[in-house]
A and B are shown apart, each in its own frame.
Chain A
Amino acid sequence: MALSITPGEKYGFFTDTSICIGCKACEVACKEWNGLQSDNTVFLADSFDNTGALDAQHWRHVKFIEQVADAPTSVGNGQAWLMMSDVCKHCEHASCMQVCPTGAIIRTEFDSVFIQQDVCNGCRNCISACPYSVIGFSSASGTAHKCTLCYDRLQNNMMPACAQACPTQSIQFGKVDDLRAVAAKRLDAVQAGGAKNAQLYGADDSVYGGLNAFFLLMDKPEAYALPNASNSVLPGRNNLFGYLAALVTAALAVIAGLVALRRRTEPRPAPAAPVTPDEPAEAPDSAERPPAEEPAPARGESRRRRRSS
């Protein structure tokens, strides 16, 4: 039966890391469908990872996290190899959208977060804001890039390429509410199987108001380099205090300036006799001499000032 994708509904991913086998089919499918450049593959000496991170050319990235116990333990306990197919979270409260000055980042009719390539001017403000290090800058296009949730496929009733390619169904695509129900059941099953650290990440609104692409993790978020609930802060949090600090500084600077520049109106004694400065100035220009009512410092005063320093 053909998939029916309805505009106005919330769509996203449920990525179940407990069944990810690290095959990277998602990475390849994403690259193929979206026409992303291939890599100059290098040996990263980081487990099975050879693409490094999400960026302008990698909209899916499989993380390999090796957790090896410090001391020997019994078989099956103490060693873990976490794998996670990472992607843009299509955050409900999206940091990237908050700071984009051109309005290039929009929320689509499927509730995904999308960068309009013909609007983006490559200022890179979104890159400094995305807390998941998702967005990359392409020097080829001069713009910012990230996962589009396969916007073009969605418009044609096709599921995103990564979800379609995933052989273990670690990546599931669907309506976010449906996926949340599936995820809750799966979490119960995984925990019942003994994985006590397993938890859902982004399925509720504790992280950036909820993530349309959320995860079942086998450890705490920090183990996967993901901000936890108390760290999920938006860049705009610093607007108020940032401007307030600048305002207070501005007020103090203006007062300081007004007080300091008042000095010039204080009467000073007229010059008693000429004196040579330590460092000779250029030839005097009589047209620019101080007016009579503003006499220059007296000889003695000037000498005192230099000696005391």
Chain B
Amino acid sequence: MPLPLLAEHFARPPDWGVWILLYFFFAGLAGGAYVIATLVRLRGGDGPVARTGYLLAFPCVLLCPIFLTVDLGQPLRFWHMMVNTSPGGLGLNFNTATPMSLGVWALLVFGFFTFVSFLAELGLLPFLRAGVALGTLFALVGSIFGLFIAGYTGVLLSVSNQPVWSDSPVLGGLFLASGMSGAAAAIWLLGGRRGPVAAGDFEGLEVAAAYFAVLELLLLLVFFITVAIAGSLGTALRLPWTLLWLLALIGMVLPLAGLGRRGVAVDRGGAAVLTGNATLVSVVVLVGVLALRAAVIGSAQ
């Protein structure tokens, strides 16, 4: 029986470029931000981290279908992803064999959850506000879709016959962990910009970011091992993609080296503030999240 991971590739690259890269990036941020916000609320937090997470997720999700549609050869047929237009075709398209089909539906559903949570965060839906059981339940269900959106893009690449992509089954996990890292960094940047913060909230985020980075590093290691076993490591690591892999690696290591220990300081008035150092680390993490996806997408094509 052939090893499932060993494959010689003769497939042509699909020429997925910058739009798909941006989609993968913002999908990761959206899913990660929503999940982090929900986890903070679950732990009883009601500070800027959760608020920023929910306020960030919706605009990010809003960008996703735009990028996806622009990338299509026939953008006005974007709805063919959902509606079967074949003669005699019945109803809706739902092809469980391809993450692209599942992802479109998940994006639609997740868009609904992020929109409602966005409104709730603006105070427009009091029955879903923080602390209300219905709101918690709603966010929990939404988070399942958030996790899916953050990770399925990696599975989508794996479900192909391309070198590198199809040589490792952990791309979905890697993108999910990286989406969580990126979302933590984005929340840090946006939520901590306006002076004093709830220090405890952000300290928790520092530690979470470090955990996500550990997860990313482990998955990156497994990714390289599986790709090496399949014989595609040379393809994955060729120039110029090596530089992007390095950037991605720096974005994973820095939260372990710096963010977890330097993020929160105290100002003259005794209020907690975020340090400039942590801000810089957050920017590097976000660049790393983008670089990881660019390296994966680009090196295989």
Contact = CB atoms under 8 A, between A and B. Distances in A.
A260 B204 contact: yes
A127 B159 contact: no
A243 B277 CA distance: 36
B268 A242 contact: no
Contact of B194 (A138, A141, A285): A285
B176 A294 contact: no
Contacts of B36: 257
Interface string A113-132: 00010111111110111111
A280 B73 CA distance: 50
A118 B10 CA distance: 28
B159 A278 contact: no
Given A265-B44, A271-B270, A278-B275, A101 B10 contact: no
Nearest to A272: B270
A263 B73 contact: no
B232 interface: no
B30 to A, nearest CB: 15
A272 B86 CA distance: 72
Contacts, number: 345
B148 to A, nearest CB: 8
Interface in B1-45: 2, 4, 6-16, 35-36, 39-40, 42-45
Contact of A278 (B10, B197, B265): B265
Interface residues on A, range: 35 or more
A185 interface: no
Contacts of B71: 123
A282 B277 CA distance: 15
A124 to B, nearest CB: 4
Contacts of B242: none
Nearest to A144: B73
Contacts of B2: 229-231, 233
A278 B162 CA distance: 49
Contacts of B173: 245-246, 248-249
B8 A222 contact: yes
A241 interface: yes
Contact of B211 (A228, A230, A256, A302): A256
A263 to B, nearest CB: 5
B73 A143 contact: yes
A275 interface: yes
21 contacts: A101-B93, A102-B81, A103-B86, A104-B86, A119-B77, A121-B72, A121-B75, A129-B161, A131-B161, A137-B15, A227-B8, A236-B98, A238-B155, A239-B99, A249-B174, A273-B270, A285-B196, A296-B271, A297-B203, A302-B266, A305-B262
Interchain residue pairs A-B with the least CB separation, the first 7: A122-B73, A264-B200, A279-B276, A142-B73, A249-B173, A246-B172, A277-B265
Interface of B: 2, 4, 6-16, 35-36, 39-40, 42-45, 47-48, 71-75, 77-78, 80-81, 84-86, 89, 93, 95, 97-101, 104, 147-148, 151-152, 154-155, 158-162, 165-166, 169-174, 176-177, 180, 193-201, 203-205, 207-208, 210-212, 215, 219, 258, 261-262, 264-277
Interface of A: 53, 55, 95, 98-104, 106, 116, 118-125, 127-133, 135-139, 141-144, 222, 225-231, 233, 235-239, 241-246, 248-250, 252-254, 256-266, 268, 271, 273-286, 288-291, 294, 296-299, 302, 305-306, 308-309
